[in-house]
Structure 1
Amino acid sequence: MNSPPETPSPADRPAVSDADLLAAHITGDPHAFSEIVKRHRDRMWAVALRTLGDPDEAADAVQDAFVSAYRKAGSFRGEAAVTTWLHRIVVNACLDRMRRKSVRPVADDELIEAAERDAQLPDQTVEREVSMEVSAALKLLPADQRAALVLVDMMGYSVEDAAQVLQVPSGTVKSRCARGRAKLAPILSHLRNRSDLSRVSSAKGDRTS
């Protein structure tokens, strides 16, 4: 006598929502969380890499974040989308790494020196040069400003969505972005001759509307 077919795991069913996958993980499905990771790891990696500017640090931060999400899945209350919840964990993992390094804020005269030094670099492929210079410039910002700019200007998040990820008011996100852009302006002003700075994030990819 043939046994009845096994019920497919939620991870194997089409069009299963992130929330359903997380609920399945909480109730013991061994495949559900792996599906969540597959769906979102590239996006989480992009956020971590742009925030930290170092592939090894970004990889460690993403790993830490997913381990944390795996363990704390039961704390998810559905008040925000699963993607927002994951982004929040990844950003916090990045900020923790940045704070442990105790990055010293850069003085205005150092920003000017950096701008002059970068302007004298030999020409490279425009896209690669813009990407490298933006990454280097972001490292000069305080952690909170960098995180806000990565989400809003580079990943294409709305101010409101970024505020949910960072768990701060929308006005705080706007203020951090404004201060960050003001600090970046003297460093990246020479790029205006080659690329519209309002679209610098497009040169780095992964920007969504």
Structure 2
Amino acid sequence: MNADGQLVKRAIGGEDQAFVEIMQSHKVDLYKTAIAYLKNSDEALEAIQEVTYRAYKSIHQVRNSAYVKTWLIRIMINYCNDQLKKKKREVLGEEILQVQGISEDHSGLEIKDAMEDLDERSREILTLKYFHDLKIKEIAASMQCPEGTVKTWLNKALKALKGKLEEKGGN
């Protein structure tokens, strides 16, 4: 087991300093995720505080220490989706989706608008895959479903995104 794995094991065992070190090492990824969803630095900082609290309360639920980053990002995405539902708006960050054949033909704004029209699961899978560079295996572990299911959902999400872009008058 690597040093990160030992750190996670210590945090699961109740060692507060180990938990703090885990949160420190993943704070940039959590902040980027929060900004991508909430588009507001104050709200993103508040989201990090809330996710830190939620993660602290449920660190014992981490089953595989290798997926702690995925687990934390999943908590952040769930929190952000909850916040967006409260505001009755669903948006994704300003980042451009780097998918072959999509980003070349459409502006970032077009992609962002099209992603807002997708269902929550599709947005989540595209975000995990293309914004956080997670592998199918990691996404499957975080969503607690088979890898084949994630591949199917990812394929459907990409087709839906392309369809939305074509509806909006793209190539």
| TM, length-normalised to structure 2 | 0.68
Structure 1, gaps ≥5 residues long: 1-14, 106-129, 191-209
| Structure 1 contact 50–150 (Cα < 8 Å) conserved | no
Secondary structure in 2 matching 1:42: helix
Match of 1:91 in 2: 77
Aligned to 1:155: 132
Which residue does the alignment assign to 1:144? 121
Task: Identify the residue that residue 16 of structure 1 maps to in structure 2.
Answer: 3
Say which one has the larger Rg.
1
Q: What are the Cα deviations for residues 153-192 of structure 1, in whole angstroms up to 9, with x where unaligned?
A: 23222334333333443122332233134324555948xx
SS of alignment partner, residue 16 of structure 2: coil
Higher alpha-carbon deviation: 158-167 or 87-96: 158-167
Question: How far apart in 1 are the matches of 2:125 and 2:138?
Answer: 11
State the match for 1:175 in structure 2.
156
Q: Give the length in aligned residue pairs.
A: 150
Q: Is the 8 A contact 2:19 2:56 kept in 1?
A: yes
Q: Percent identity?
A: 25
Equivalent pair of 1:51/1:147 in contact (CA under 8 Å): no
Structure 2 regions of 5+ residues with no counterpart?
92-106
CA shift, 1:72, in A, is 0.6
Q: Give 1:69 shift.
A: 0.7
Name the counterpart of 2:88: 102
With over 3 angstroms needed to count, the CA separation of the structure-2 counterparts of 1:179 and 1:187, relative to structure 1, is same
1:37 match: 23
Distance in 1 between residues matched to 2:117 and 2:160, nearest whole Å: 12
Query: Would you say the 8 A contact 2:7–2:22 is kept in 1?
Result: yes
Q: Which residue of 2 aligns with 1:166?
A: 143
Instruction: Report Cα offsets for 1:82-103 as digits up to 9, x if no partner.
Output: 1222122122212222233333
Report the CA distance shift for 1:55/1:83 in structure 2 as closer, same or farther (over 3 A). Answer: same
